[in-house]
Every structure is written in C-alpha cells, then in structure tokens.
Amino acid sequence: MMLRPRQSQTGFTLIEVLLVIVLMAVLMGVAVVSLNPSDPSRRIQQERERIQAKIGYARLLAETDQIEVGLQLNSAGYRFLRFDKTRQQWFVIDTDPALKPQQTLGIGYTWRDAGVAQSIASREPVEGAVIPDMLLLSSGEATPGVLSIRSQDDPSVVPVELQINDLGDTRLPEDEDTEGVRRAY
C-alpha cells in the first residue's frame, strides 16, 4: 500500500473567519455610534452650520436685491423675513427654498444683542406682530450679536454659538487665538 503525499489545502479556518466577522461587527458598531444623526451634540453642530450658511445667503440677498432681511427665532425654529417698504411691515420669506421657515424640534435658540440675553420662550409676544431678532440690511450692515444654539432634549450637551458682527460676517468663538486676537473672517 502506497501512501499518497498529502496535498496542501488552501483556505481559512473557521476560527479565522469568525475572528474577521467579529472585528467587522465591532468596527461597524463604532462607526454607527460616531455617525448617529440623532446625537444631540451632532444635531446642534449641524444646525449651527446650516443657519450660518443661511445667514450668509440672506446677507447676500439683502445686498444684491437691496431689501432688508430679518431673522426671527421662535421656540419651534426660525424664519427669515423681508421688509416691505410700501406697507412698512415685515413679511415671512416663503418663496425662496433656502430661506423658507424651519422647524427644528429639540433645538432651542438664544439671541444676545448688545450684551443682553433674550430667551425666545420668555419674550413677550406682540399680538400679530412679525418682528425680527436680527437684521441684515441692504447697506451691508447687520445687527451684531451672538446666536446660541442648544439641545432642548439633552441639557447636558454644551450649547454652540455663532457670532455675528456689524457687517453680517459670521464666525465661531473658537476662531479666536489664545491671546484673544481675532482671526480674519
């Protein structure tokens, strides 16, 4: 009886396959947790970026179309307004898709103008009045202040801020150097 030489077999063992599956599951779990869109801190960061872009667009619209634009914050979101000079009143901008009224559930806003904080919920409502919190004027000027965005769902999440200067430029507080010198916009 003659023995055949053993042929080498190629492939993976069951242990190797299981180890790869477990590693992939762990990595996917970490990725899902880090990319969780419902994470309150991620949501307010995204909202800050979104409203910063919209303020920049509204500023450009005000200057190019020579209209006065305002931003009105409320407990359920925000909306952009335009001033009608003939009627001498503010109207909601609802024809421009970029500036349509936004409902932001779970996110709250605080506007601080001239060093005075004003909570949107505590502001006394004026019957039927549409009054902006912040102005973007056709001359290129704006209401300077700080827009604070916070999570209403999780009070432990640190609010983020967006600073707006008198020319309508927006910047983040972390854009300041350690010596307190502001970087260029």
pLDDT by residue (tens digit) across 126-160? 556 788 999 999 998 998 999 898 888 888 888 89
What's the confidence (pLDDT) of residue 114? Answer: 57
173: DSSP letter: G
Q: Is the pLDDT of residue 88 over 80?
A: yes
Determine, yes or no, domain membership for 2.
Answer: no
> pLDDT confidence of 80, banded at 50, 70, 90?
very high
Mean pLDDT for all residues in the chain: 81
Residues paired with residue 90 on neighbouring β-strands, in sequence order: 83
CB atoms within 10 A of CB 4: 5
Closest CA to 132 of 3, 122, 140, 142: 142
Instruction: Report pTM.
Output: 0.69
What's the confidence (pLDDT) of residue 137? Answer: 92
Determine, yes or no, domain membership for 19.
Answer: no
Query: Can you tell me the distance from the alpha carbon of 168 to that of 39, in angstroms, rounded to the nearest whole number?
Result: 30
Count of domains for the chain: 1
Any idea what the CATH number is for the domain that residue 169 is in? 3.55.40.10
Query: Alpha helix locations (H) across 66-106?
Result: none
Determine, yes or no, domain membership for 136.
Answer: yes
What's the confidence (pLDDT) of residue 32? Answer: 72
Dump strand ranges (E) for the chain: 69-74, 77-84, 89-92, 102-103, 107-113, 116-119, 134-136, 145-151, 160-164, 170-171
Q: Is the pLDDT of residue 119 over 80?
A: no
